[in-house]
């Protein structure tokens, strides 16, 4: 199979070649305006797929289709918003030559306009699919899965790329052109025009049971989803999609420029794209992780429900996701599954299951959440991941009423002055080899009060579900100190990972964040805990580990309120 890739040595084209490098029956023609860059890319290629460099301008695509006779043309160049007065030149050439066509188009108007060629494409027996990328193919697949048992009313979400991923110049041109420019979307059941990057929302990408991304600000972008998804779901009244680039400082600069353009009627900032591109690709700091989130509100069985879908990608695997839709379609075609003739958006090109094989080969995970509310505290944070933990652990956290567990534990305390003062203030237990333990969990103000008695010492904390920037985190309060904790499933262990902390509601420096490995698991059929609390400059404060079993609660235990020290 011969595939001609426009922009083949660019960001998205190059990643597509990388994803297909194991397919020996592919001949990939790597096209672009620079023969030297195409040759250098092919020389560096390693894989079973054959590659061939070719210098090609888009204006010459018709002649190239006649002479090279590719089976498929992939347009990975862009920016599609700037294709000028004749934006569909490549599509027209492919229809005339009888060649199938796929593109990475991220421009909403470009993708929506492709349907004008549907009749011609059908007559020519050619499949023309536009917008074959995460937006809208992956988003649409997620919504179809959600819509299987609920009526979708509102949709919001976005993508958060890793700051280390790197961004192509053409992508930066598209972002700069979008800033302050018109964006058509559905709001309150009516089509309206907003302005790109002038409005923002915050999301936390949190696959159940995995370490979430930090809460990020997303700003409105012009993507095909805004126009091609509402017709797929007739009850939809609102849709909003954003991007969450970091560093946040540059993101806010783009927001200010977008508002200035919208307010004063300034021209597009596209000429400044090279500057933005250079700055963004040099300011690479923070976690090398990215993600995507789609939140849906709707109706199920006569009641309002809220569900969300989350995706996390580690390291260099995240940037590959936009190219995986075309990868999947090419692999399906090699299995004899060719898209039906016609010209349309790629909104129905793939299902979520089609992505799973590509995700499985990479450090990419995803999962659904029910955000409607109800259920236990830990159920709300862990979602379906709670069911994958050992039975004693899930049983301990599944209850919603008062419950008492008893057992034993060994304790170590820090010996430094500050450690001893902290232990005395909070009531942490004394050093012991095998001390009796009682843990009472009781509902309190929408959360849970945990009262622990180890040996002769009793100390208490209040746990609750985080909100705002602590969304999908467990917040535990010891008096004036609050610690936001991620609940992470690690095999048969539930690991507690500290993410943020504050005193009297004032955020404290991360460099002083209390740490230490803390987890729950199962030992010999019993609930087991292992808690270690350390602090920078202080060292060990306290560590205790042991096992618990549910105690038979008496009526007086359930009725008597529990108070900490």
Domain with 23 in it: what CATH number? 3.40.50.720
Cα–Cα dist 237/298, whole Å: 10
Kindly state whether residues 302 and 160 are assigned to the same domain.
yes
Which residues, 6+ apart, have CB-to-CB distance to 538 below 8 Å?
A: 414, 416, 418, 419, 422
Kindly state whether residues 389 and 278 are assigned to the same domain.
no
Does the residue 324 lie in any domain? no
| End position of a domain, from candidates 76, 99, 130 | 130
3-state secondary structure of 215: coil
Range of the domain at 121: 2-130
Kindly state whether residues 388 and 313 are assigned to the same domain.
no
- Our measurement of the distance from residue 264's CA atom to the centroid of its chain's CA atoms, rounded to an integer in Å, reads 34
What pLDDT does 282 receive?
80
And the tokens for 529? 């805990």
Does the residue 343 lie in any domain? no
Say how many residues make up the chain: 565
What pLDDT does 81 receive?
66
What pLDDT does 401 receive?
84
Instruction: Report DSSP state, residue 382.
Output: H
Output the tens digit of pLDDT for each of the chain's 565 residues: 999 999 999 999 999 999 999 999 999 999 999 999 999 999 999 999 999 999 998 889 999 999 999 999 999 987 776 677 789 999 999 999 999 999 999 888 999 999 999 999 999 999 999 999 999 999 999 999 999 999 999 999 999 999 888 777 878 888 888 999 999 999 999 999 999 999 999 999 999 999 999 999 999 999 999 999 999 999 999 999 999 988 888 899 999 999 999 999 999 999 998 988 888 778 777 789 999 999 999 999 999 999 999 999 999 999 999 999 999 999 999 999 999 999 999 999 999 999 998 999 999 999 999 999 888 999 999 999 999 999 999 999 997 789 999 999 999 999 999 999 999 999 999 999 999 999 999 999 889 999 999 999 999 999 999 999 999 999 999 999 999 999 999 999 999 999 999 999 999 998 899 888 999 999 999 999 999 999 998 999 999 999 999 986 544 444 333 333 3
Cα–Cα dist 183/220, whole Å: 8
Kindly state whether residues 162 and 282 are assigned to the same domain.
yes
Does the residue 243 lie in any domain? yes
| End position of a domain, from candidates 130, 160, 184 | 130
Does the residue 268 lie in any domain? yes
Kindly state whether residues 388 and 402 are assigned to the same domain.
yes
And the tokens for 363? 């450090």
Quickly tell me which residue has 């087991």 as its tokens: 528
Cα–Cα dist 315/317, whole Å: 6
Kindly state whether residues 61 and 76 are assigned to the same domain.
yes
Quickly tell me which residue has 């079993």 as its tokens: 549
Kindly state whether residues 124 and 138 are assigned to the same domain.
no
User: What CATH number corresponds to the domain at position 434?
Assistant: 2.40.128.20
Kindly state whether residues 10 and 37 are assigned to the same domain.
yes
Kindly state whether residues 12 and 124 are assigned to the same domain.
yes
What pLDDT does 79 receive?
74
User: What CATH number corresponds to the domain at position 150?
Assistant: 3.30.360.10
Cα–Cα dist 446/497, whole Å: 22
Instruction: Report DSSP state, residue 515.
Output: B
Q: Which of 306, 124, 107, 331 is nearest to 221 (CA)?
A: 107
Q: What is the pTM of this model?
A: 0.92
The alpha carbon dihedral of 57, 59, 65, 66 has a sign of: negative
Kindly state whether residues 69 and 118 are assigned to the same domain.
yes
How many Å from the N-terminal Cα to the C-terminal Cα in the chain?
73
CA atoms within 13 A of residue 201's CA, in its CB half-sphere: 19
Cα–Cα dist 365/246, whole Å: 21
- Report whether 200 contacts 104 (CB < 8 A): no
Which H or E run contains 491?
A: none
Does the residue 327 lie in any domain? no
Does the residue 338 lie in any domain? no
For the range 116-124, what are the long-range contacts, defined as Cβ-Cβ under 8 Å and sequence gap of 24 or more? 116/343, 117/88, 117/91, 117/92, 117/343, 118/342, 118/343, 118/344, 120/95, 120/343, 121/95, 121/341, 121/342, 121/343, 122/341, 122/342, 124/95, 124/96, 124/98, 124/341
- Report whether 9 contacts 167 (CB < 8 A): no
Does the residue 346 lie in any domain? no
| End position of a domain, from candidates 371, 390, 417 | 371
Q: Which of 187, 200, 194 is nearest to 236 (CA)?
A: 187
What pLDDT does 553 receive?
52
**DSSP sequence for 389-418:** S-HHHHHHHH--S-EEEEEEEEEEE--SHH
- Report whether 224 contacts 136 (CB < 8 A): yes
Q: CA 214 → CA 72, 163, 165, 288, 481, distances in Å? A: 40, 13, 17, 12, 20
- Report whether 31 contacts 191 (CB < 8 A): no
Domain count, the chain: 3
Does the residue 352 lie in any domain? no
Cα–Cα dist 180/163, whole Å: 23
Kindly state whether residues 96 and 160 are assigned to the same domain.
no
Question: Starting at the edge strand that comes first in sequence, how are the strands of the sheet with 200-203 ordered?
Answer: 200-203, 216-220, 238-243, 151-160, 289-300, 303-314, 364-370
Kindly state whether residues 270 and 211 are assigned to the same domain.
yes
Q: Which of 358, 409, 348 is nearest to 546 (CA)?
A: 409
């Amino acid at each position: 199979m011969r595939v001609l890739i426009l922009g083949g040595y660019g960001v998205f084209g190059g990643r597509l070649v990388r994803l297909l490098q194991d397919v020996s029956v592919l001949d990939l023609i790597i096209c672009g305006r620079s023969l030297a860059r195409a040759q250098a890319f092919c020389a560096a290629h390693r894989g079973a797929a054959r590659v061939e460099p070719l210098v090609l301008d888009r204006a010459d695509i018709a002649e190239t289709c006649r002479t090279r006779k590719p089976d498929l043309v992939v347009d990975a160049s862009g920016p599609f918003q700037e294709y000028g007065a004749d934006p569909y030149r490549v599509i027209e050439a492919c229809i005339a030559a009888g060649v199938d066509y796929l593109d990475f188009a991220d421009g909403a108007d470009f993708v929506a306009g492709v349907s004008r060629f549907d009749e011609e494409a059908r007559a020519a027996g050619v499949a023309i699919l536009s917008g074959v990328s995460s937006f809208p193919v992956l988003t649409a697949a997620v919504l179809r899965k959600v819509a299987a048992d609920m009526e979708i009313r509102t949709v919001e979400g976005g993508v958060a790329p890793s700051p280390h991923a790197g961004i192509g110049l053409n992508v930066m041109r598209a972002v700069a052109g979008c800033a302050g420019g018109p964006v058509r979307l559905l709001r309150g059941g009516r089509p309206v025009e907003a302005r790109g990057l002038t409005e923002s929302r915050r999301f936390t990408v949190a696959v159940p049971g995995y370490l979430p991304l930090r809460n990020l600000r997303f700003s409105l972008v012009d993507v095909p989803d805004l126009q091609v998804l509402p017709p797929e779901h007739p009850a939809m009244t609102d849709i909003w999609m954003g991007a969450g680039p970091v560093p946040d400082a540059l993101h806010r600069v783009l927001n200010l420029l977008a508002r200035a353009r919208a307010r004063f009627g300034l021209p597009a900032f596209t000429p400044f794209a090279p500057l933005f591109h250079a700055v963004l690709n040099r300011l690479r700091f923070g976690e090398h992780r990215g993600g995507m989130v789609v939140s849906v509100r709707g109706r199920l069985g006569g009641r309002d429900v809220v569900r969300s879908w989350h995706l996390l990608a580690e390291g260099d695997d995240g940037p590959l996701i936009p190219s995986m839709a075309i990868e999947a379609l090419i692999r399906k075609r090699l299995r004899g599954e060719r898209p039906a003739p016609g010209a349309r958006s790629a909104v129905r090109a793939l299902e979520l299951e089609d992505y799973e094989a590509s995700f499985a080969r990479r450090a990419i995970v995803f999962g659904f959440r029910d955000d409607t509310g109800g259920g236990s505290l830990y159920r709300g944070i862990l979602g379906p991941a709670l069911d994958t933990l050992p039975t004693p652990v899930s049983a301990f956290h599944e209850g919603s009423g008062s419950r008492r567990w008893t057992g034993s534990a060994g304790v170590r305390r820090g010996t430094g002055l500050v450690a001893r003062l902290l232990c005395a203030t909070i009531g942490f237990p004394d050093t012991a080899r095998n001390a009796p333990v009682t843990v009472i969990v009781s509902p309190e103000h929408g959360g849970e009060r945990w009262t622990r008695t180890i040996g002769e010492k009793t100390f208490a904390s209040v746990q609750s579900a985080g909100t705002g920037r602590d969304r999908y985190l467990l917040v535990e309060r010891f008096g004036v100190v609050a610690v936001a904790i991620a609940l992470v499933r690690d095999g048969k262990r539930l690991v507690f990972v500290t993410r943020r902390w504050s005193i009297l509601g004032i955020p404290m420096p991360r460099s002083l964040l209390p740490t230490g490995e803390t987890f729950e698991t199962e030992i010999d059929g019993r609930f087991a805990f292992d808690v270690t609390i350390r602090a920078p400059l202080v060292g060990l404060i306290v560590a205790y580990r042991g096992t618990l079993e549910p105690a038979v609660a008496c009526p007086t235990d359930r009725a008597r309120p529990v108070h900490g020290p």
